[in-house]
Structure 1
Amino acid sequence: MAHYLLAVSPLPGHLMPMLTIGLGLQSLGHRITVLTGAQLCDTVAASGLDPVALPVDVRIEPPAAAPAPLRRLPTPVRRFWLGRAELRAVYAEPLGEQADALRAILRTQPVDAILADVTFTGALPLLLDDSARPPVLCCGVSPLTLTSADTPPFGLAWQPRPGRDYRRMNAVAHRVIMRGSQRAFDRALRRAGAGRSPVFISDWPRLADGLLQLTVRDFEYPRGDLPPTVEYVGPVLPTAPSTFEPPHWWDDVCATAGVVLVTQGTHDNVDLDQLINPTLEALGDRRDLLVVATTGRRAGQRLPRRLADNARVADWVPYSALMPYVDVMITNGGYGGVQFALSHGVPLIVAGETSDKAEVAARVAYSGVGVDLATATPSPATIRAAVADVREDGAYRGAAQRFRSEIEDATPIDSIANALKRCCGT
């Protein structure tokens, strides 16, 4: 059987689907090694896979909030500012040490193929300069970032208009507005021993031997120029944990028809005043609803001193246990969580500001499965109105149920295994 190297940025939300893929491939008899952040290696080992640590200083911190003056500017300006910061922090700055760690592994052991998440840009020097490399495939653990004539620049979170040509708008965004980020990316590539990137930063996965997008086709915008290397394999969803000790209030979840789940995911969850606390305030007097907030176990979080009688809070509850009871999910736009909700036919309310989360929110609205609040900091009144809208308008739930059927038909692990096998020529 083959030896596959999974290269994953040190982001919990990226690691978890990659671990599920690794375990699935391991169950098919393959040997799996996972290269990721040192702080996540215990999680890898506990899953039953073999970890290799990136240097300890390779970390990606939660995004900083936009400065107060910027928050008063139009949304596109604010999103471009956040996008530039994200491109540097996630794509450019870790590239060199990621590339060094990949090369070190390849020098010491045979690897049949590399499966990298789309933000693990340390794989790009191999694609540009190493003819002896193994096949490199990317996993789309976030919305599809590839530039298209049919879609606006990634990060603006604008839904495309049918028949419009966005090539000029994309060129201006890349060559003018994002020029500094591209230069930082090219500098990182040169330091890693590669030349200048032939594509824009977020387009680098089109140079890989395959891009396996972890969703169903209808969640993405139609693109007439989609590269043939892109395959929609369906979301990779974690299995139920072997042990789960329900919180003492679990019977309330099982007995309530109107469970509203609110979460800020696994990364941008320090400031609960962005989404969780406003949701608790917005729905605190709704006796027909049970509000379950999962906080993600991060230091520095502050909840209200007094919780409403209909609120239940936990650091973490597995989606596999909770989602069958959820009526509406409120989220800041984590890609994996949104896919999990859709796999259960649960409609969504999304409040995301950073480029990937705003793009998730836009796709939720575009596909009809929920509401895009177009901000990371909605007011309690806005949240309350959105919950009423989603619960009362059956179209959202109907669209989410259609996605549930599509996801049930997907076979992501088999599709990924077959893609790897094709690229390896076996």
Structure 2
Amino acid sequence: MNILFASQAIDGHFNPMTGVAMELKERGHDVRWYTGQSFAGKLEKLGIPLFRFNRAIEHRADNLFELYPERARLKGPRAIGFDGEKIFASNISNFFEDIRDLAQDFPFDVLVVDSSMFIQRLVSHLMGRPVVSFVVVPNMESDPQVPPLFFGFRPARNPQEKAIQELAGLLSDKVILRPAGKSYRRQHRFYGQEAPKGARVTDEPYRCSAAIIQTGTTSLDFPRRNTNPKVHYVGALLPYRDQEVEPREPARQGYASTILVTQGTVDNVDQDKLIIPALEALKDMDALVMVATGGRGTVELQARYPQPNIRIRDYIDFAAVLEFTDVFVSNGGFGGVQLALSKGVPLVVSGINEGKSDVNARVEYAGVGINLRTDNPTPEKIGRAVRAVLADPGWKRRAGQMSQDFGSHNPAEAASQGRGRRSQRQVSCRHKA
């Protein structure tokens, strides 16, 4: 079978899909990938041919502020709305035209697509090809019991909270998502495709796909009134790695505990948000403190924090280090959160932008970590939260219980099987009430 993978040129979108791609490749399928040129080296190592973006703009973690200098001045709902329109919706037609062109050389049988590319309706309707959507963020499908997106709400507990969330939902639909929705509809009308009126653009991947590979577990999602049979939760999907891995950091190294800190790979320019206050909070603890910078300011931080218990690296093998980590301090990147919980490691989370507030709300709701509910926590807040997690075994116990939900099976294999098989029929994209 000819299988085309397609993803944004963003690490957190591309990397989790590689394990599934390699499972399918090793089963004898012809797997190829449509993404940005920046992943050419990785795909070459995997032996997967690249169709690079032609018309599409390559949005990467390291060029967003160069492409959109005004983005640095935006915060909260305005920042989310800007990203929705510029980074995600604006490329829809470009993605589709590129894929329609490359299909002349590679007549693929099925498209496995990063859900945030929003081309499911066009490919399934105009090309007649089944689409499997790959969701690397928490389940974004709307549901009466699930709080509105982007506010970091937990499910409403009383009429007052419900009323507040209903107002926030109107703000989300009418203001935050409006620019992306207008762009989505305008581009689809050009091709004679009409999205349901009043429907959220974030529901489209769930509506117009034959199947949805949803990272995470139901225990890390909010309760839902409606169950979409096309959605398959597959646990923590890790980047593909061969059997030869780099030497691991020695466990604990004589310290009472191990704390892992990250500020992700996108929102890591301003290290005063999390990395520096975390280092200030933890530098004098009897703990091995390991910090992943994502390749930014590593040398400067190493000089600033020479304490023997601190290890600052560009990148850290999270899968290895989390085997002996006691607390994971994170800004709420969904991939890292899932990986930590799959290893039974409780969290201290702090982050708002790029949808991280919704990830962190789920961590808090599940009782597997402390949510600081801010983009700029103080060292005092971080220190108190880390000490609270270390002092109360309940946090570790609940994280361990959730790790059982992630299971010991190979999630990439489960995803590649689709927990069933793709639908052979054209997807109708009907509006679901």
How far is 1:303 from its partner?
2.5
Aligned CA distance change for structure 1 residues 251 and 109 (closer, same or farther; 3 Å): closer
After TM superposition, give the deviation of residue 241 of structure 1 in Å: 5.0
1:256 aligns with 2:255: yes
Q: 1:175: how far off?
A: 2.9
Question: What secondary structure, in the 3-state scheme, does the structure 1 residue paired with 2:33 have?
Answer: strand
Greater alpha carbon shift after TM alignment, 401-410 vs 182-191: 182-191
1:22-421 to 2 correspondence within 5 Å? 22-55=21-54, 57-61=57-61, 79-127=76-124, 129-130=125-126, 132-161=127-156, 170-190=169-189, 193-198=191-196, 199-207=199-207, 208-238=209-239, 242-246=243-247, 250-251=249-250, 253-286=252-285, 288-298=286-296, 303=301, 305-307=303-305, 308-419=307-418
Whole-angstrom CA distance in 1 between matches of 2:70 and 2:348: 22
Contact 2:59–2:87 (8 Å) recurs in 1:
no
| SS of residue matched to 1:115 | strand
Conserved? CA contact 1:137–1:210, under 8 Å: yes
Does the aligned pair in 2 maintain the 1:99–1:123 contact within 8 Å?
no
Q: Matches of 1:67 and 1:29 in 2, distance apart?
A: 43
- CA distance in 1 between counterparts of 2:9 and 2:296 reads 15
CA distance in 1, matches of 2:251, 2:397: 26
Give CA-to-partner distance per residue, 1:49-75, whole Å, 9 cap, x none.
Answer: 2221113732244677999997xxxxx
Deviation, structure 1 residue 379: 1.0
For the residues of structure 2 that align with 1:68 and 1:382, how far apart are their CA atoms? 25
Contact 1:34 1:52 in 2 (8 A): yes
Equivalent position amino acid for 1:211 in 2: I
Q: Which runs of 5+ in 2 are unaligned?
A: 426-433
Indicate conservation of the 8 Å contact 2:268/2:296, yes or no. Answer: yes
In the TM superposition, what is the alpha-carbon distance from 1:304 to its structure 2 partner? 6.6
CA deviation after TM superposition for structure 1 residue 374, in Å? 0.9
Looking at structure 1, the residues matched to 184 and 375 of structure 2 have their Cα atoms a distance apart, in angstroms, of 27
Q: Could you say which structure has the greater relative contact order, defined with CA pairs below 8 angstroms and 6 or more residues apart?
A: 2
> In the alignment, residue 210 of structure 1 is paired with which amino acid?
A
- Which whole-Å deviations, capped at 9, do the CAs of 1:239-263 have from their partners, x for residues lacking one? 655444448xx34745434111101
The answer to whether the 8 Å contact 1:112/1:424 transfers is no
- Secondary structure at 1:352 match in 2: coil
Q: Deviations over 1:4-48 (max 9, x none)?
A: 111111110111110111011222222211111111122122123
SS of 1:271's partner is coil
Alpha-carbon distance in 2 for matches of 1:386, 1:265: 20
Asked if 2 retains the 8 angstrom alpha-carbon contact of 1:4 and 1:30, the reply is yes
Q: What is the identity percentage for the equivalent residue pairs of Structure 1 and Structure 2? A: 28
**Shift of residue 314, structure 1, vs aligned partner:** 0.8
TM-score, normalising length: structure 1:
0.88
Instruction: Say whether the 8 Å CA contact 2:150–2:172 is kept in structure 1.
Output: no
Give the distance between the partners of 1:59 and 1:355, measured in 2 at CA: 14
Alignment partner, residue 428 of structure 2: none
Aligned with 2:359: secondary structure? Answer: helix
Any idea what SS the aligned residue of 2:422 has?
Answer: helix
Moved more, 371-380 or 196-205: 196-205
TM-score using structure 2 length = 0.86
Q: Aligned equivalents of 2:297 and 2:7: distance in 1?
A: 24
Give the conservation status (yes or no) of the 8 Å contact 1:17–1:237. yes
**Residue type of the partner of 1:110?**
P
Displacement after TM superposition at 1:336 (Å): 1.1
From the superposition, tell whether residues 194 and 143 of structure 1 become closer, same or farther in structure 2 (CA, over 3 Å): farther
**Which secondary structure does the structure 2 equivalent of 1:303 belong to?**
helix
Q: How many residues align?
A: 412
Superposition RMSD on alpha carbons, in Å?
2.8
